[in-house]
Amino acid sequence: MSYEKVSTAKEIVVGTKQTVKAIQKGRVQAVILAADADPRVINPVLTAAEEHGVPIWQVDSMQKLGKACGIDVKASAVGIIKEK
């Protein structure tokens, strides 16, 4: 389900740093985290999402998440940007 949401979203941010920045700016409506990502990598995203009340969804694979984003590398965190 979350892979589909990522692939059909109008705008996303990919990666932990970009996702955290977007969360802090109030631009993210939901965060998708890969379960097989290193916890040290995704913890800043998890913390920022919890602090700002952003829903967190989890998927099983970084590889599949990257593919859903349309990139050829793995993705540990993705933020779905709010529609204007």
pLDDT digits (tens, 9 = 90+) for 34-56: 999 999 999 999 999 999 999 99
Kindly report, residue by residue over 59-72, the tens digit of the pLDDT.
999 999 999 999 99
Compute the distance between CA of residue 81 and CA of residue 70 in angstroms, rounded to an integer.
16
Specify the number of domains making up the chain. 1
Burial 44-70 (b: 16+ CB within 10 A, else e): ebbebbeeeebeeeebebbebbbbbbe
pTM for the full model?
0.92
Domain, as residue range, for 12: 2-81
